[in-house]
Amino acid sequence: MSSAIKVFAPATVANVGPGFDILGLALEGIGDEIEMSLSDAGGIEIRMPGSNLPTDPKANVAGVAIQALLDELGSSQGIRMIIYKKVLPGSGLGSSASSAAGAVFAANELLNSPFSKQELVQFAMAGEAASSGKAHADNVAPSLLGGFTLVRSYEPLDVVNLSYPSDLTVVVVHPQIEVKTSDSKKILKKDISMETAIAQWGNVAGLISGLATSDYGLIGRSLQDVIVEPVRSMLIPGFDQLKQAAADKGALGCSISGSGPSVFALCNDPVSANKVGSIFRQIYQDLDIEHYVHVSKINEEGAKVLI
């Protein structure tokens, strides 16, 4: 059993258009890093240099997630960790998921891997519940497993890795304002009409089929969210402009990343993705809003050991 480890768990784009709470993908090059060691002192000790997030393990997503894992093992093993937050809270890029996924992945490695990555999803979900009030898996699943994931069912939990074209490239723009997932969940409608549901599940099925067959036209037609985006987009400055510009520059589609305020576009290659990234930058410069643009392929590996 090794006694210390450093891991990386990627940031993620959840919902991915029509797949509210069920679809997600992992990003390359951005994610939280966690150093962890086992301790004889008992309890969970958390440090987060440069972050204002709570370090009390009962109030920290990583602490809650690890406690869920230890409870399942019936273990009182002491854990110490330092979380280097690289994914900003309230960005819509799965900040809490990155910490929760990284923490359970690291703990599992240190404890000689009693669980598979698939099984770790349920523990990381406990962290999400502590953060947003809902144990959604659409960020923690891709952060742990990598790739493009579908939560086929929550009860029982059934997470599936989807096929997708290898050239698929993601552009994300994060306007530097904070939107809490818990707040942006509260504004959603509780009921939808049958007509709206039909439109949405047609798009979910079309998107998954398009991804599996590399049918970019079908992916583009299906990247539409008729339920959540119309409500949440009101919280995002310049959203309509970003969406129109993405279409003009050849993106397959564009929608809100997770609960926002980040916005993502999917492109069929890095060249068009960089054009979309440039126009996103231009739009927020013109609106005088600080922002950060990230262009990447989909991260195939998910959570991984660094050292």
Judged by beta carbon, residue 178 or residue 286, the one nearer ligand HSE is 178
The yes or no reply on residue 15 touching ligand HSE (CB under 6 A) is yes
The yes or no reply on residue 130 touching ligand HSE (CB under 6 A) is no
3-state secondary structure of 4: strand
The yes or no reply on residue 138 touching ligand HSE (CB under 6 A) is yes
The single residue of 128, 149, 169, 229 carrying the catalytic annotation is 128
The yes or no reply on residue 149 touching ligand HSE (CB under 6 A) is no
State which of positions 252-271 bind ligand HSE (CB under 6 A).
258-259
The four Cα atoms 177, 287, 17, 199 give a dihedral, to 10 degrees, of 120
- Of 149, 69, 139, 45, the residue nearest 99 (C-alpha): 139
Judged by beta carbon, residue 5 or residue 223, the one nearer ligand HSE is 223
- Going through the chain in order, the beta strands assigned E by DSSP cover 4-14, 23-39, 44-47, 78-84, 148-153, 158-162, 169-175, 253-256, 263-267, 291-297, 304-305
CA–CA separation, 132 and 2 (whole Å): 33
- Across the strands, what pairs with 231? none
The yes or no reply on residue 139 touching ligand HSE (CB under 6 A) is yes
User: How many residues bind to ligand HSE according to rule CB under 6 A?
Assistant: 12
**Region binding ligand HSE by CB under 6 A among candidate stretches 107-115, 135-143, 171-179, 264-272:** 135-143
CA–CA separation, 80 and 97 (whole Å): 19
CA–CA separation, 75 and 229 (whole Å): 42
Task: Tell me how far, at minimum, the Cβ of 20 lies from ligand HSE, in Å.
Answer: 6
CA–CA separation, 93 and 209 (whole Å): 25
Q: Which of residues 117, 136, 275, 291 is near ligand HSE by CB under 6 A?
A: 136
Residues in the chain: 307
Q: Which of residues 185, 281, 297, 304 is near ligand HSE by CB under 6 A?
A: 185
Q: Which of residues 21, 35, 45, 215 is near ligand HSE by CB under 6 A?
A: 21
Q: Which residues are catalytic?
A: 128, 181
Positions that interact with ligand HSE (CB under 6 A): 14-15, 20-21, 94, 136, 138-139, 181, 185, 258-259
